[in-house]
Structure 1
Amino acid sequence: MGLRELIRTREVTAAEVEDCARRALERAHDELNALTQPPFDPSLAHEPDGPLGGVPFVIKDSGPFAQGVPFTIGSRAINGAYAHVDHDLMARFRAAGLVALGQSTAPEFGLSFATESVRYGPTRNPWDPKRGVGGSSGGAAALVAAGAVPLAHASDAGGSIRVPAASCGLVGLKPGLGRTPCGPASGEIAFGQLVEFAVTRTVRDTAHLLDAVGAPTVGDKYQAPGPPRPYAEAIRTDPGRLRIALTTEPWTGGTVNGQVAAAAVTAGQVLEWIGHAVTETRLDVDGEAVVEAAMLTVVTTGGAVLRGTPRRPDPSKLEGVSRRVLAETEEFTLLDVMKATEAQNAVTRAVGRFFQEYDVLVTPTLGRLPAPHGTLNYDHSGHTGRSWLRRLFTYGPFTATFNVSGNPAISLPLGQSREGLPIGVQLVAAHGREDLLLQVAAQLEQAVPWADRTPPLYVG
């Protein structure tokens, strides 16, 4: 990473970088409403000599993550809750030397593709403040896109890294199941569908960060095989001629905006020009099975709220969908869990068979351009958990399947709309092949560079 090299060579000091980032975060928050509280003072403890020592970042308000730091999960009903121990990934972030300077906004309970909680209000998109930033890692994406920090902690249970990355013009890698740690309080989260990592601006930064934190800890229930070489080295090597599948046809319902579909098709053409074999095809996955399996994420989130907060949330302070989610969590039976895990198994096996024939799948990340505020109204009392998932999947139909199956997937900012809005293209690979995913991403970044694109609201 460039900042780390400047600090290492003493062209700047870590204190100067931190001071600059603090001022940038405050400016970005004033414009975008992307922090839950003022920047941490002092920053959270970290190892200054780590491989990313001195690089500023922010953590996400998604639950207990950093010891002693309060969290609200975007809810007016949660107060006085804080992490008693570090999440294993937070411990890795500290050891890598990342300087945590703040906490980014997220929708209530993280169950939306719109970061517009009643508690904090809408987080605005630096490309167009009238539009949203996606969710649930929306505040993180807004701050990185605006240049306040080079990377930010994010998590993904149905698209919550990739959707904000696509909305804000960033690189968003969802590692595969078992690639990043999920302890110490859990062996898996949401039946393996939730993964923690980050959003960044470049494939290089994503590779370096995954090298620093991307390994399971002892006792993790799922452990992905280690890469044959460091990811930062892999992105400089040619993966050879690959079998690339391309589809713009959603399998969970809904339609795809023409400009969004065109960006994915163009990415396929670029890959063909690079030398890969590209085939337009269809992913044969049952969309209703994806919805049924994703209910495991919904009720696990509800259970985490009920078990992990100091007092039961006041229903009158909850947004409409959250209120229904907590009720459904308590109504969910063992037979419901069995039905959902059977659906997850069906999806996982269908995706596994697909990647016996193809090396990489290319799809749009979203089905639409970044949505105006209020499009995904989470404070609506008429939804059930399933109806809300179907609503989300009409907006972002391509992401959740690979949380259900556990495959690594990445969103790249390869397109731009006529209105100047970013368009993300998703790449997916077989389980354990983050190295291949990053190699192809690096080829696309070189062929269709995006480094010179900055949003109108930029503080970097």
Structure 2
Amino acid sequence: MTPPARVHTFTDDALGDHDAVELARLIRAGELSAAEVEAAAVARLQEVQQLHAMAYESYDRPRRADADTGLLHGVPTLLKDNTDLRGTPTNHGSEAFSARPATRDGRYTTQFLSTGMTVLGKSRMPEFGLNATTEFRSGPPTPNPWNTRHSVGASSGGSAALVAAGAVPIAHANDGGGSIRIPAAAAGLVGLKPSRGRHIDGETARTLPINMVSEGVVTRTVRDTAIFHAALERHWRNPALPPLGLVEGPARRRLRVALIMESVTDAVIDAPTKAAVEQTATLLEEQGHTVDPVPVPADARFGDDFLRYWGLLAFLAGNLGRLTIDRTLDQGRLDGLTDGLRRTFTSGGWRQTPAALLSLRRAAAAYASVFDHHDVVLCPVVAGVTPPLGHLSPNVPFEELVDRLTRHVAFTPLQNITGAPAISLPMGLSEEGLPIGIQLSAAYGDERTLLELAYALEEQSPWPRIQDTA
């Protein structure tokens, strides 16, 4: 059997192995020009076409902010294919329609562009962001650059693949059930899902019965994630949340850490993932923090309720999509996961949905109670190392696929429903050389503690780098 490929583009060009913070500094200092950095990124994106991670290329007409005052001015990036960018189509990862170019920027896009970054196109995602792998009904999958036989996660899989491979240092991601944190864990990246309301909500998020979508980025360093969120605040800050500002390093205070090794779906955590979480607990204790095991702060029915809500979202996309997304949407071309979820909803699942939504809304109080006695929660991102391509494909029979997804995506949805922040950090490698992420979460509005703790772990145990491992 041919050995699995490891794909990266790190080389001695204008991008080098710089993160976004360093690139922005070099551009401000005049040591690099934004044009040569952009050209290097385009060359790298073209070099990794085998990752099939680009939904739309706009190399000949990149989008930039009108002013050059953003903290990340000149840094090349990508926008995810579920966010409108004027002049480019938004296809939501679906083969069921062909979108026309957007006539205006999305609400969140304006805030994203205010950071000063240069958007070179759109990254791929699974249909409507419903799956935890970037695989499709008929198109080629987006593989993991660490091992191209494996999934790169989802739904922000295209962004994660291209950041991990070094094509761009930072890329847009959003998270409605783990879609920042899951691909970050799969690709060895940092992925912060911020608190609900930390940023301007996109159009879709504003219409949801429970707004569980958070916007953000995937990055290779903690400081890139920190400066991105500081840059967003320069454009708009939610007065209902404590200001985040620029978090620049660890804090000295000692924290009470709750260790959770049970999932909301009773999933079994595999040995490599368990070891990575336990090793992280040991590192935190070495820093002087207290780590206490606690039970999962969620009702036993949470997993089923979340799945019913997922079915409602599939119904809204599949059955009402001609009105809300694109008039050319063809239900017959929806992938197996979207179609199965919406059919389950229409065949009777809708009857339990009102009770499920009520139960999910009550979950925030149970989750918040953890922080009566703890500052941070430590747990896995997903129940196991990212699976081989095909394991979560939308072409797997629906009932089997839902069972596999439930067993895999076992920890991330809780923060989406409660609105609390959570971050994925790359704290291990499997025997096959695949990254393993751990998750830290905090009370609503407390991203600062997560970033400070992430800085400390990055300093204590530097992340594995794709260009350094065989």
Aligned to 1:423: 436
Give the secondary structure class of the aligned counterpart of 2:89.
coil
For the residues of structure 2 that align with 1:332 and 1:435, how far apart are their CA atoms?
Answer: 43
The one-letter code of the counterpart of 2:269 is: V
**Residues 188 and 464, structure 2, Cα contact 8 Å, conserved in 1:** no
1:381 offset after TM fit, Å? 5.1
How far 1:246 sits from its partner (Å)? 1.0
Contact persistence 1:368–1:396 (CA under 8 A): no
Pairing partner for 1:45 from 42, 47, 64? 64
Q: Tell me the alpha carbon deviations over residues 92-116 of structure 1, each in whole angstroms, 9 at most, x when there is no partner.
A: 1212111000111111111111101
Which position in structure 1 is the counterpart of 2:22?
Answer: 2
> Of 231, 235, 249, which residue of structure 1 is paired with 2:246?
231
Aligned-residue offset at 1:259: 0.9
**SS of 2:436 mapped into structure 1:** strand
Does the CA contact (< 8 Å) of 2:233 and 2:245 recur in 1?
A: no
Distance 1:455 1:326 in 2: 44
Matched letter for residue 94 of structure 1 = L
Deviation at 1:335, TM superposition (A): 5.8
The change in CA–CA distance for 1:61 and 1:18 in structure 2 (over 3 A counts) is same
Contact between 2:151 and 2:388, CA under 8 Å: does it hold in 1? yes
Query: Equivalent of 1:245, from 255, 258, 274?
Result: 258
- Aligned partners of 1:237, 1:256: CA distance in 2, in Å? 31
Tell me if structure 2 keeps the 8 A contact 1:115–1:123. yes
Q: Check conservation: 2:247, 2:448, Cα contact below 8 A.
A: no
Q: Which residue of 1 aligns with 2:7?
A: none
Deviations 1:206-239 (A, max 9, x none): 0000111158969x8xx65132x52334x3432x
Superposed, 1:115-126 pairs within 5 Å as 115-126=134-145
Residue 376 of structure 1: how far off its partner (Å): 0.7
Q: Deviations over 1:116-174 (max 9, x none)?
A: 11353211111101111001111100000000001111111111110000000000101
Secondary structure of the 2:91 match is coil
Structure 2 distance, partners of 1:332, 1:168, is 38
Is the partner of 2:438 in helix, strand or coil? Answer: strand
Task: Verify: 1:364 aligned to 2:377, yes or no.
Answer: no
Structure 1 residues 16, 95: closer, same or farther in 2, change over 3 A?
same
For 1:87 and 1:38, locate their aligned partners in 2 and report how far apart those are by CA, in whole Å: 18
Tell me how far 1:254 sits from its aligned partner.
1.8
CA distance in 1, matches of 2:31, 2:122: 28
Unpaired runs of 5+ in structure 1? Answer: none
1:378 and 1:396 mapped to 2: Cα distance?
15
Q: Please state whether the residue corresponding to 2:295 is helix, strand or coil.
A: coil
Contact kept in structure 1, 2:64 and 2:113, CA below 8 Å = yes
Number of matched pairs:
446
Q: Does 1:197 align with 2:216?
A: yes
Which of 127, 148, 157 is the aligned partner of 1:108? 127
- CA gap 1:390/1:231 in 2 versus in 1, 3 angstroms: farther
Q: TM-score, normalised by structure 2?
A: 0.88
2: CA distance, partners of 1:297 / 1:15:
43
1:300 to partner: Cα distance: 3.0
CA apart distance, 1:26: 0.9
Question: 1: distance between equivalents of 2:434 and 2:349?
Answer: 43
Alignment CA distance shift 1:392-1:334 (3 Å): closer
Amino acid at match of 1:48: D
Report if aligned partners of 1:180, 1:216 keep a CA contact under 8 Å in 2.
Answer: no
Tell me how large the CA RMSD over aligned residues is: 2.4
Change (3 A) 1:451 1:131: closer
Range with bigger deviation, 116-125 or 90-99 = 116-125
Q: 1:186 to 1:369 in 2, by over 3 A?
A: closer
Give how far 1:253 is off. Answer: 2.1
Paired letter, 1:61: D
Q: How far apart are residue 456 of structure 1 and its match?
A: 6.6
Summarize the Cα distance change of 1:83–1:215 in structure 2 as closer, same or farther, 3 Å threshold: farther
Taking structure 1 as the reference length, the TM-score comes to 0.90
SS of the residue 1:316 aligns to: helix
Q: What pairs with 1:249-398 in structure 2 (closer than 5 Å)?
A: 249-304=262-317, 306=321, 307-311=323-327, 313-328=329-344, 336-380=352-396, 382-383=398-399, 390-398=403-411
SS at match of 2:143: coil
Look up the match of 1:17: 37
1:114 and 1:45 map into 2 onto residues whose CA distance is 30
Tell me the amino acid that sits aligned with residue 92 of structure 1. Q
Alpha-carbon distance in 1 for matches of 2:261, 2:350: 36
The alignment status of 1:93 with 2:108, answered yes or no, reads no
Q: Which 5+ residue runs of structure 2 have no aligned equivalent?
A: 1-20
